[in-house]
């Protein structure tokens, strides 16, 4: 699999995985798995975004295929653990005979024990899985089947060569006799042990993919259209999946423009919007649905962001120096790589206004010359935008805030142009900091 380039800072910025102090992650939004190993399979996929269009398309096709199933899995985590424990018993079965089966049956009949219960439960659950998966895939039968479905069909053919498995799987529910139990035990833990293990692995994969389908239904996510032919990005109605009733916005890089310069007042939603776009790009390279009405994009080789940059106190770095090192890291990356999507939220916020202005202007101008990468850069220093607004490859967007009765109303709506809105002093005055200090008793 061709690896998508993303670093730890970007994963943290976008809240892709669970972290201390966070009550939600992008992974948790998608995690409706029923089994422990299904959860593991989903995590494996989340950690493996790809730049291979065939891998991405294969995942998308399977998700589309499963989306047509209207039922549920009804997998029980405890029952799946029973199957795993049953298969991994120390006593391996090397042969089967009716005499041996008769002896065990009589013994179990008069002296049922834990080993017998585990065997009966394990065998029943394997039969259930065969029936359940067969039922699901039979309702989804189509001309073109995804790889996972073909693999299941092959496993069924292999298991059904054992007439006992075929007979019991095909009949109505009724008690499995002691003789049948012993024969099935030999098949599942002996003759077809590897086949049953492959069946379980397939069930866990299906659990993970069905979890993605559930998330798609709950959060109204949609599969993006991806093409390896040209680099482009167009998203309609992108929103942040953590925010209930999130305002959706459109963003498109076109007409030779590869830099989006984003302005907006404090609390206008710049960081949230940038994260929404970053999350969508990451999910698209997983082959997963994205938080948008629609999305068309090329294949990106990587994604790098600077949104919530921490202080590096252990190395004695100031916040500003940390920002400089991060910009240097991005510069070195795009020096040797093409098709990198870059997100910067508030360049150089850790220094004085003059240095922040000069630094932002210099870096943005340098970035704009790298035409085979795309950039989204937010800032509250609108004076930078005024200087570079004539640049042909830049587009200017802002998040609209209007004042009503002396109070700001945040619309979170993306507009064309550059904003002049500044509400920092309103926030300070609204918190009545000066009144608190002026009312202090000086005696």
pLDDT value, residue 279: 98
CA distance 240 to 232: 21
Q: Which of 219, 239, 263 is the last residue of a domain?
A: 219
Tens-digit pLDDT profile for residues 227-255: 988 889 999 999 999 999 999 999 999 87
pLDDT value, residue 430: 59
CA distance 278 to 4: 13
- When pLDDT is cut at 50, 70 and 90, the band that residue 115 belongs to is confident
Question: Is the pLDDT reported for residue 102 higher than 70?
Answer: no
Question: Is the pLDDT reported for residue 223 higher than 60?
Answer: yes
CATH number at 244 reads 3.40.50.300
| Co-location of 148 and 180 in the same domain | yes
| Co-location of 415 and 272 in the same domain | yes
Tens-digit pLDDT profile for residues 304-349: 999 987 665 555 567 788 888 899 999 999 988 899 999 999 888 7
**3-state secondary structure at position 285:** coil
| Co-location of 95 and 230 in the same domain | no
- Helix (H), strand (E) counts: the chain: 17, 11
Compute CA distances 245 → 14, 238, 242, 248, 415, whole Å.
Answer: 19, 12, 10, 9, 19
| Co-location of 373 and 424 in the same domain | yes
pLDDT value, residue 308: 81
Indicate whether 420 belongs to any domain.
yes
Q: How many domains does the chain have?
A: 2
pLDDT value, residue 231: 87
Indicate whether 443 belongs to any domain.
no
Q: What is the token pair recorded at 345?
A: 């939220």
Question: Is the pLDDT reported for residue 199 higher than 60?
Answer: yes
Q: According to the 3-state scheme, what is the secondary structure of 239-277?
A: CCCCCCCCCCEEEEECCCCCEEEEEECCCCCHHHHHHHH
Indicate whether 18 belongs to any domain.
no
Mean pLDDT of 195-212: 97
| Co-location of 185 and 239 in the same domain | no
Question: Is the pLDDT reported for residue 367 higher than 80?
Answer: yes
| Co-location of 87 and 143 in the same domain | yes
Question: Is the pLDDT reported for residue 100 higher than 70?
Answer: no
CA distance 404 to 195: 68
Tens-digit pLDDT profile for residues 41-98: 999 999 999 999 999 999 999 999 999 999 888 888 888 988 998 998 866 665 555 6
CA distance 306 to 16: 14
| Co-location of 197 and 234 in the same domain | no
> Do 9 and 278 form a contact (C-beta atoms < 8 A)?
no
DSSP code string of 366-401: HHHT-TTSEEEEE-S-HHHHHHHTT-TTEEEEEEEE
pLDDT value, residue 291: 98
Q: How many residues does the chain have?
A: 443
Indicate whether 250 belongs to any domain.
yes
Indicate whether 55 belongs to any domain.
yes
Indicate whether 419 belongs to any domain.
yes
**Between 357 and 35, whose confidence is greater?**
35
pLDDT value, residue 240: 97
Q: Which of 167, 190, 219 is the last residue of a domain?
A: 219
**Between 410 and 7, whose confidence is greater?**
7
pLDDT value, residue 353: 80
pLDDT value, residue 425: 47
Question: Is the pLDDT reported for residue 376 higher than 50?
Answer: yes
| Co-location of 180 and 75 in the same domain | yes
Q: Which of 168, 184, 219 is the last residue of a domain?
A: 219
Please list the residues that pair with 225 across neighbouring strands: 296
Give the largest CA-CA distance in the chain: 102
Mean pLDDT of 424-430: 53
Mean pLDDT of 102-116: 66
- When pLDDT is cut at 50, 70 and 90, the band that residue 111 belongs to is low
**Between 399 and 385, whose confidence is greater?**
399
Percentage with pLDDT > 90 across the chain: 54
Task: Provide the residue range defining the domain that includes 203.
Answer: 23-219
Closest CA to 415 of 241, 224, 261: 261
Mean pLDDT of 401-416: 86
Indicate whether 119 belongs to any domain.
yes
> Do 418 and 378 form a contact (C-beta atoms < 8 A)?
no
| Co-location of 208 and 276 in the same domain | no
Closest CA to 248 of 222, 286, 284: 222
CATH number at 57 reads 1.10.1420
Question: With left for phi above 0 and alpha for psi between -120 and 50, is residue 265 left, alpha or beta?
Answer: beta
Per DSSP bridges, beta strands 233-238 and 294-298 are antiparallel
Can you give the pTM of this predicted structure?
0.90
pLDDT value, residue 392: 85
CA distance 302 to 373: 10
Helix, strand, coil distribution of the chain in percent, nearest 5? 50, 15, 35
> Do 130 and 156 form a contact (C-beta atoms < 8 A)?
yes
| Co-location of 320 and 421 in the same domain | yes
| Co-location of 246 and 153 in the same domain | no
> Do 135 and 212 form a contact (C-beta atoms < 8 A)?
no
Question: Is the pLDDT reported for residue 428 higher than 80?
Answer: no
**Between 156 and 385, whose confidence is greater?**
156
Q: What is the token pair recorded at 128?
A: 């259930």
Closest CA to 145 of 231, 259, 62, 246: 62
Indicate whether 442 belongs to any domain.
no
| Co-location of 30 and 166 in the same domain | yes
Mean pLDDT of 182-203: 93
DSSP state of 191: I
The helix (H) or strand (E) run that includes residue 411 is strand 407-416
Task: Round the average pLDDT of the chain to a whole number and report it.
Answer: 87
């Amino acid at each position: 699999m061709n690896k998508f380039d993303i670093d730890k800072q970007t994963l943290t910025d976008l809240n892709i995985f669970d972290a201390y102090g966070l009550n939600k992650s992008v992974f948790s939004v998608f995690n409706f798995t029923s089994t422990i190993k299904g959860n593991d399979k989903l995590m494996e996929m989340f950690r493996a975004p790809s730049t291979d269009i065939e891998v991405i398309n294969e995942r998308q096709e399977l998700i589309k295929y499963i989306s047509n199933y209207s039922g549920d899995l009804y997998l029980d985590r405890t029952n799946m653990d029973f199957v795993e424990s049953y298969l991994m018993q120390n006593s391996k079965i090397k042969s089967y005979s009716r005499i041996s089966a008769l002896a065990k049956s009589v013994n179990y009949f008069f002296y049922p024990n834990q080993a017998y219960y585990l065997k009966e439960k394990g065998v029943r659950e394997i039969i259930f899985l065969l029936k359940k998966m067969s039922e699901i895939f039979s309702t989804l039968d189509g001309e073109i089947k995804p790889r996972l479905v073909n693999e299941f069909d092959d496993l069924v053919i292999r298991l059904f060569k054992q007439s006992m498995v075929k007979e019991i799987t095909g009949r109505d529910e009724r008690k499995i006799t002691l003789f049948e139990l012993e024969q099935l035990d030999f098949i599942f833990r002996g003759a077809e042990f590897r086949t049953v293990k492959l069946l379980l692995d397939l069930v866990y994969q299906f659990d993970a993919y069905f979890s993605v389908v559930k998330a798609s239904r709950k959060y109204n996510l949609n599969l993006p259209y991806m093409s390896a032919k040209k680099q482009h990005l167009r998203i309609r109605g992108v929103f942040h999946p953590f925010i209930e009733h999130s305002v959706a916005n459109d963003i498109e890089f076109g007409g030779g423009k590869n830099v989006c310069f984003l302005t907006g007042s404090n609390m206008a939603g710049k960081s949230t919007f940038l994260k929404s776009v970053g999350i969508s790009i990451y999910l698209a390279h997983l082959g997963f649905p994205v938080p948008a009405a629609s999305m068309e994009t090329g294949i990106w080789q990587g994604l790098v962001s600077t949104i919530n940059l921490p202080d590096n106190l252990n190395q004695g770095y100031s916040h500003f120096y940390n920002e400089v090192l991060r910009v240097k890291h991005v510069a070195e990356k795009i020096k040797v790589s093409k098709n990198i999507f870059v997100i910067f939220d508030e360049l150089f916020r850790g220094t004085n206004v003059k240095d922040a202005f000069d630094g932002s202007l210099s870096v943005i101008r340098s970035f704009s010359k790298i035409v085979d990468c795309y950039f989204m850069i937010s800032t509250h220093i609108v004076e930078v935008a005024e200087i570079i607004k004539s640049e042909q490859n830049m587009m200017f967007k802002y998040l609209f805030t209007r004042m009503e009765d002396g109070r700001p109303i945040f619309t979170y709506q993306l507009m064309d142009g550059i904003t002049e809105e500044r509400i920092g002093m309103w926030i300070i005055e609204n918190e009545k900091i000066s009144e608190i200090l002026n009312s202090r008793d000086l005696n």
